[in-house]
Chain A
Amino acid sequence: MSDKMHIKLTVNGEGREFLAEPRELLIYALREHLNITGPHVGCDTSHCGACTVTLNGKSVKSCTMFVGQANGADITTVEGLGTPDALHVLQESFREHHGLQCGFCTPGMITRAAKLLEENPTPTEEDVRFGMAGNICRCTGYQNIVKSILAAADEMNGSEQGQTVEAAE
């Protein structure tokens, strides 16, 4: 067992501090020390993207990074994208277009898609398929995920309110 390290992170806008072994993967640190269980573990070998978070402005597979490496980082997870009263456009769009089934890939998908749309607000279908290729879904066959993301892009471009819409209904 190695010594514990004092870790400071900003997660979803909130400062968090805790002790962890530096070798712990960021995904486990988020899930087990901070109880942020939106990001999931689908492989822990950087293939599936279920653990995707935004770290210092980039999409990162949080199973690919030690928590020691992430020290000081600013992290956004799916929990930080919207609130129950003001969902992120993508959260609403995935529901609207049936972009999820078991939901296990969904937090990573939405987090990655949010970044993708920031990088490229007017993507083509091809851009979306390429930009999402690091995130695996076993349930949906992607067609409705792609549809959800393209619809969200349209909505965000046409909408005055920027990134959030009032929760539907």
Chain B
Amino acid sequence: MNDLTPNREERTANLKGMGCARKRVEDARFTQGQGNYVDDVKLPGMLHGDFVRSPYAHARVKSINKEAALALPGVVAVLTAEDLAPLNLHWMPTLAGDKQMVLADGKVLFQGQEVAFVVANDRYIAADAVELVEVDYEELPVITDPFEALQSDVVLREDLAGQTEGAHGPRKHHNHIFTWEQGDEAATNQVMDSAEVVAEESMYYHRTHPCPLETCGSVASMDKVNGKLTLWGTFQAPHVVRTVAALLSGIEEHNIRVISPDIGGGFGNKVGVYPGYICSIVASIVTGKPVKWVEDRMENLMSTAFARDYWMKGKISATKEGKITGLHCHVTADHGGFDACADPTKFPAGFMNICTGSYDIPVAYLGVDGVYTNKAPGGVSYRCSFRVTEAVYFIERMIEVLAIELDMDAAELRRINFIKKEQFPYTAALGWEYDSGDYHTAWDKALKTVDYEGLRAEQAERVEAFKRGETRKLMGVGLSFFTEIVGAGPVKNCDILGMGMFDSCEIRIHPTGSAIARLGTISQGQGHATTFAQILASEIGISADSITIEEGDTDTAPYGLGTYGSRSTPVAGAATALAGRKIRAKAQMIAAYLLEVHDDDVEFDVDRFVVKGAPERFSTMKDIAYAAYNQAIPGLEPGLEAVSYYDPPNMTYPFGAYVCVMDIDVDTGVPEIRRFYALDDCGTRINPMIIEGQVHGGLTEALAVALGQEIAYDDLGNVKTGTLMDFFLPTAWEVPNYETDFTVTPSPHHPIGAKGVGESPHVGGVPCFSNAVQDAFRAFGLRHTNMPHDHWRIWQTANKLGLHD
């Protein structure tokens, strides 16, 4: 060592490892228009597919006449269920244990359902031909209300007629899918019956849609010479898609290559398998040419996976002082025409059983009934981990309603019921074991930062001024405290189509000391290429700038379950750290050999191994990498590679405290967000810049859902919100600046203590925005009103409360 040798701090900084706000490596191509999304894939001779879709929500398909379409020059094929049936591909399994029509088989169950697939030389000819396919429908009675569905004689799913047993137990009615029960109902009822205070409320969490900016699509290319199928597509779980494709098509899995190229946002929309993917594959097999299918926005909103649509009925009991004693929740879940929820198999309502939230509630019960209606199938986690958004909305509204019932401050009510720091690991009444948390510290920090008492004083003054006629604006203080449950999940209880929900990382160190790591996940904007390299840099002492991260190609990446439910960092991030540690273990032996000491006499130091007690004697990771390939080291295989498949021992439980201050004009119903403060605790922070970006994005999607975004149907099952004219996506004009903050409570069981963050802001944000609106009207007697709080609905609320008189 000499004066030029960088010191430890400099060496650490050079690594660009964990904790630094490393700029993203993805950005160069995206800012220069060089991204490669599925619609950018262009192959020689490629054909284009387009769907004939049902205009009716429920109808019998009496006949399909393809002749005119086939006669159009440039049309290559028109596929219907009849063509797919011999291949047994006219139906496909859903992730929820149900099955779904790929193309209408005798009837249609929702507006926009896929009826026929037209394949033509270009997208314009395909669209023209769609218009020429004549379908003769016989309209059937339409049911869009799940409660009506459970009473009705109309059988929606004739294919299931007579089946009293579904994938999740007994079916009570021909339109019923499952009942899922958690907790102890008898004990909960007993507590309710003798409670000092009980608050009840029914709430509807409306249907909405993840609506990533890029719609779904695929390009299938069947190479008949080599018997290989290559499939590019918008897949959040490419490996699972390969397995499903193998099972459905009969093509052996090694002959299928699935590639998720750049993905233009997912938010849960791109987890499921859609008819378009299957049809592009079949069409490529039939025509021998590559076939592209990319849906348009209207098709995306009408037919691919929606989110939410939960009718929740709650009861919460407490002592007069506000100590919660029990919670009862029943959900009627509208799943649409097919049960195509994307939940781990054993959880038909996802992790809705996290609905006891951040509170120490001794006894609870949750019952969920899934129901078929004439609406699009789905039920995905829109920027959340499997129904956690619904669960957190439910409990955070119940807390507010209880506060009203008790005439108590809602912040104080939360504080006295939080699970205490010393109670972790904490087993909740509905079974989950929360790994860690420090809720009181986070809550106090949040309330202090926003001057909570000052806000309440200002609000009280505003109410008085309003009553005196001096202002027409009310002020709402929205609170929410959430606990997420992410990182699905332990293989023992979490699987998708039988695949355990582990994840993976494979690392190769190159001779000159740079590296490539491949993971089973796939980024859709989260910046994996940036952050996973940071994890690895800290673990193996090679600069993040010298590490390439690759995901999404099933021919090269190790098997993994993909990216959704904030599972990449908790699961694949752990695999990355552990694979890195395997590299380090071998590097240690190489270093010892190079330094001519015993293995135990060297120790890792940032980017090198040093001889214990003699730091001037060292071998850098660069030296070690080279030695791994050019020296014959006794007892060691050449090369420096590792792979790790990580089965998490538990979920991780990120949490956060949010406060929203809102002014509402009671005459126009327009809410103005004056301030939004978000404190997130996602455990160890890998890249603060990216965390902050995730929080901004998640909050904005929360704002959308709370304040206007919905998929609405009329009584005939027509989608009323099928374009971006009607489906609310906020613009820069409607969105405020957010203040972000954090505490750090590392996960005790995660190799680097990280918990995941992508979805927390959405989960915590929705109740926060909603509570702000509702809180503004609390002084005038409002107890609960359903989202979305668009201007019209807010105006109606004000009107019903007599504020326009």
CA gap between A103 and B27 in the complex, in Å: 8
Q: Which of B35, B40, B122, B724 contacts A48 (CB 8 A)?
A: B724
Judge whether B24 and A142 touch: CB under 8 Å.
no
Judge whether B733 and A133 touch: CB under 8 Å.
yes
A contact residues vs B (CB 8 Å cutoff): 1, 21, 23-24, 28, 31-32, 35-45, 47-48, 50, 77-79, 82, 84, 87, 90-92, 94-96, 98, 100-107, 110, 128-130, 132-146
User: Does B527 belong to the interface (CB within 8 Å)?
Assistant: yes
Chain B hits for A146, CB < 8 A: 732
Chain B hits for A50, CB < 8 A: 213
Judge whether A144 and B696 touch: CB under 8 Å.
yes
How many residues does chain B have at the interface if contact means C-beta atoms less than 8 Å apart?
60
User: Does B211 belong to the interface (CB within 8 Å)?
Assistant: yes
Judge whether A137 and B693 touch: CB under 8 Å.
no
CA gap between A46 and B467 in the complex, in Å: 44
Chain B hits for A96, CB < 8 A: 23
Contact status of A145 and B724, CB under 8 A, knowing A103-B262, A138-B267, A140-B696: no
Q: List 14 A-B contacts (CB under 8 A).
A: A1-B128, A31-B39, A37-B39, A40-B214, A40-B264, A41-B39, A43-B723, A43-B724, A78-B33, A91-B31, A101-B697, A106-B30, A133-B731, A142-B735
Contact status of A138 and B24, CB under 8 A, knowing A1-B74, A78-B32: no
Q: Which of B39, B42, B526 contacts A101 (CB 8 A)?
A: B526
Chain A hits for B690, CB < 8 A: 98
User: Does B362 belong to the interface (CB within 8 Å)?
Assistant: no
Contact status of A143 and B738, CB under 8 A, knowing A45-B725, A102-B525: yes
User: Does B591 belong to the interface (CB within 8 Å)?
Assistant: no
Chain A hits for B263, CB < 8 A: 102
User: Does B28 belong to the interface (CB within 8 Å)?
Assistant: yes
Judge whether A102 and B700 touch: CB under 8 Å.
no
Which residue of A is nearest B738, CB measured?
A143
Interface string of B657-700 (1 = CB under 8 A from A): 00000000000000000000000000000000110110011111
User: Which residues of B from 28 to 74 have beta carbons under 8 Å from A?
Assistant: 28-35, 37, 39-40, 42, 72-74
Chain A hits for B73, CB < 8 A: 1
Chain A hits for B30, CB < 8 A: 100, 103, 106-107
User: Does B330 belong to the interface (CB within 8 Å)?
Assistant: no
Overall SS of chain B's interface: loop
Overall SS of chain A's interface: loop
Known: A43-B297, A141-B700. 11 other contacts (CB 8 A): A1-B124, A21-B124, A79-B33, A90-B31, A95-B27, A100-B30, A104-B213, A104-B214, A140-B697, A142-B731, A142-B732
Judge whether A139 and B697 touch: CB under 8 Å.
yes
User: Does B729 belong to the interface (CB within 8 Å)?
Assistant: yes
CA gap between A146 and B737 in the complex, in Å: 10
CA gap between A38 and B731 in the complex, in Å: 21
User: Does B125 belong to the interface (CB within 8 Å)?
Assistant: yes
Interface centre among B23, B211, B731, B733 (most CB of A within 10 A): B731
Judge whether A102 and B213 touch: CB under 8 Å.
yes
Closest chain A CB from B551 CB (angstroms): 14
Chain B hits for A43, CB < 8 A: 296-297, 723-724
CA gap between A91 and B74 in the complex, in Å: 41
Contact status of A103 and B724, CB under 8 A, knowing A95-B27, A98-B689, A138-B701: no
Chain A hits for B215, CB < 8 A: 42
Chain B hits for A38, CB < 8 A: 32-34
Judge whether B213 and A100 touch: CB under 8 Å.
no
Which residue of B is nearest A134, CB measured?
B731
Interface centre among A1, A95, A130, A142 (most CB of B within 10 A): A142
Nearest 8 A/B pairs, CB to CB: A38-B33, A103-B30, A102-B525, A104-B264, A141-B696, A101-B525, A141-B700, A47-B724
B contact residues vs A (CB 8 Å cutoff): 23-24, 26-35, 37, 39-40, 42, 72-74, 122-125, 128, 211-215, 262-265, 267, 296-297, 524-527, 689-690, 692-693, 696-701, 723-725, 729, 731-733, 735, 737-738
Chain A hits for B526, CB < 8 A: 101
Judge whether B693 and A95 touch: CB under 8 Å.
no
Judge whether A138 and B725 touch: CB under 8 Å.
no
Which residue of A is nearest B27, CB measured?
A95
Judge whether B700 and A44 touch: CB under 8 Å.
no
CA gap between A69 and B39 in the complex, in Å: 24
Closest chain A CB from B238 CB (angstroms): 16
CA gap between A33 and B689 in the complex, in Å: 38
Which residue of B is nearest A140, CB measured?
B697
Judge whether B37 and A40 touch: CB under 8 Å.
yes
Q: Which of A23, A101, A143 contacts B737 (CB 8 A)?
A: A143
Judge whether A44 and B31 touch: CB under 8 Å.
no
Judge whether A138 and B212 touch: CB under 8 Å.
yes
Judge whether A136 and B731 touch: CB under 8 Å.
yes
Judge whether A138 and B729 touch: CB under 8 Å.
yes
Which residue of B is nearest A132, CB measured?
B732
Which residue of A is nearest B703, CB measured?
A141
Chain A hits for B124, CB < 8 A: 1, 21, 23-24
Chain B hits for A95, CB < 8 A: 23-24, 27-28, 31
Judge whether A44 and B527 touch: CB under 8 Å.
no
Chain B hits for A145, CB < 8 A: 732
Q: Which of B31, B32, B42, B724 contacts A35 (CB 8 A)?
A: B42
CA gap between A107 and B725 in the complex, in Å: 22
Contact status of A141 and B27, CB under 8 A, knowing A23-B124, A82-B32: no
CA gap between A38 and B32 in the complex, in Å: 7
Contact status of A129 and B732, CB under 8 A, knowing A1-B128, A136-B724: yes
CA gap between A94 and B29 in the complex, in Å: 12
Which residue of B is nearest A105, CB measured?
B213
CA gap between A128 and B737 in the complex, in Å: 13
CA gap between A91 and B28 in the complex, in Å: 8
CA gap between A18 and B211 in the complex, in Å: 34
Judge whether B732 and A39 touch: CB under 8 Å.
no
CA gap between A106 and B162 in the complex, in Å: 52
Closest chain B CB from A164 CB (angstroms): 13
CA gap between A51 and B297 in the complex, in Å: 14
CA gap between A110 and B32 in the complex, in Å: 9
Judge whether B24 and A37 touch: CB under 8 Å.
no
Chain A hits for B212, CB < 8 A: 102, 104, 138
Interface centre among A133, A134, A137, A146 (most CB of B within 10 A): A137
CA gap between A107 and B693 in the complex, in Å: 18
Which residue of A is nearest B128, CB measured?
A1
CA gap between A137 and B729 in the complex, in Å: 9
Chain A hits for B264, CB < 8 A: 40, 42, 102-104
Judge whether A102 and B214 touch: CB under 8 Å.
yes
Chain A hits for B213, CB < 8 A: 40, 42, 48, 50, 102, 104-105, 136-139
Contact status of A141 and B262, CB under 8 A, knowing A40-B37, A101-B526: no
Closest chain B CB from A48 CB (angstroms): 6
Contact status of A42 and B297, CB under 8 A, knowing A82-B32, A107-B33: yes
CA gap between A32 and B43 in the complex, in Å: 11
Which residue of A is nearest B694, CB measured?
A101
Q: Which of B37, B698, B700, B732 contacts A104 (CB 8 A)?
A: B37
